[in-house]
Amino acid sequence: MGLTIYVNGEYVPEEKAVVSVFDHGLLYGDGIFEGIRAYHNRVFKLKEHIDRLYDSANVLMLDIPLTRAEMAEVVLETMRRNGLREGYIRLIVTRGVGDLGLDPKKCKRVGVICIGASIQLYPEEFYERGLEIVTVPTRRNLNEAVNPRIKSLNYLNNILAKMEASLAGTIEAVMLNAEGYVAEATGDNIFIVNNGTLITPPSHVGILEGITRNAVMDLARDRGLPVAEKLFTRFELYTADECFLTGTAAEVIPVIKIDGRVIGSGRPGEVTKTLIHDFRALTKTDGPEIFQG
C-alpha cells in the first residue's frame, strides 16, 4: 500500500504527492528540511526539530504558512494516517513555484511537505564493529557563504564528500572546514573521547548543529562526563581514545579507523557504548505520543 503524504494543507496518496518543475526547491535548492525519527509511538525531539526548521526558515526569509504548533501536528497526523509508530519523517519547506529566474519574490506560496515512512536501519554490525571512515578533499561550506547551520535543500557540499568517501572505499567522510579544523561527517556530527572527556567541534566551525549531537552532550553530562566544544585537527582525530558519529538516521555509531589510523583499541570504546545505551533508552520516553493511550 502506498503512503499518505502531506502536501500544502492536504493529505494525499503518494501518486498525487507531486511538485511543480518550476518549484525553486527543485530549480535552485531554495528550501529547507528536517529528518526526524519516531520510536515507540513517540516523535523523538520533535520540538527541537521544529525549532531548527523555523530557524533555517528565518535565515532564508522563508515565511512558513503554519505555526510551530500546526507544523508539529502535521508531523503527528502524517504518522497517524500511515499507521506508523516508528519510522522516519521528512519535513520539507520549499520557496514554492516561481519562474526560471532566481528571484524568490516571484514565488507566491511557500510549499510544505511531510513524508512519514519506515526507516531502513543501518546494519547492527556497524554498531558492534564500528566504522572505518576517511577525511576528504572537499571542505565544509564557509559560514559566510551558505551557513552549514541552515539545513537547506542544497546538499551538494556533502554529496561531493560522500562520493569521495565512496572512492576511498568507505561509507562516510569527515569534512574539515576551510582552515583545516574538523567539522563534521556528510550527514552526521563527530565526537572524540580523550581521557574520558567528550570533545566535539563548536557550531561556529561550520556544521549543522545536530539534535542528536546536543542530546548526546546532555546524556554525557548526566553521566558526569566532561563535555567540551573545541576546535581540533586531524592530529587529534588520529590520536583519540574513541570516536563516534551522531545523527538522526545513524543515532550513535562508533568509528574505529580514520584515514587508515586505528582509533584507540580498534574496537568501539566504553564511553561510546555507554552513550549508545543511554541514547536508546532516551528514545523510549522523549517526544509527544503519536497515538494516544
Q: Where in the sequence numbering do the catalytic residues fall?
A: 151
Based on DSSP, count helices (H) and strands (E) in the chain, helices before strands: 8, 15
**Residue 208 interacting with ligand PMP (CB under 6 A):** yes
Stretch that binds ligand PMP, among 55-63, 70-78, 187-195, 272-280 (CB under 6 A): 187-195
CB of 208 to ligand PMP, least distance (A): 4
Q: Say how far apart CA 122 and CA 119 lie, in whole Å.
A: 9
Q: For 202, phi and psi rounded to 5 degrees?
A: -70, 155
Closest CA to 186 of 217, 213, 216, 207: 207
CB of 230 to ligand PMP, least distance (A): 18
Name residues contacting ligand PMP, limited to 125-164 (CB under 6 A).
Answer: 158
Q: For 252, phi and psi rounded to 5 degrees?
A: -120, 120
CB of 246 to ligand PMP, least distance (A): 6
**Residue 35 interacting with ligand PMP (CB under 6 A):** yes
Burial class of residue 18, CB neighbours in 10 A (0-12, 13-18, 19+) = exposed
Q: Say how far apart CA 264 and CA 173 lie, in whole Å.
A: 19
Nearer to ligand PMP, 94 or 158 (CB): 158
CB of 64 to ligand PMP, least distance (A): 19
Grid cell 576511498 — which residue?
A: 168
**Residue 247 interacting with ligand PMP (CB under 6 A):** yes
**Residue 210 interacting with ligand PMP (CB under 6 A):** yes
Stretch that binds ligand PMP, among 15-23, 62-70, 93-101, 245-253 (CB under 6 A): 245-253
Choice from 56, 152, 212, 272 touching ligand PMP (CB under 6 A):
212
Q: Which residues contact 160 (CB under 8 A, 6 or more apart)?
A: 138
How many residues touch ligand PMP under the rule CB under 6 A: the total is 14
Grid cell 542528536 — which residue?
A: 212
Residues that bind ligand PMP (CB under 6 A): 35, 158, 184, 187-189, 208, 210-213, 246-248
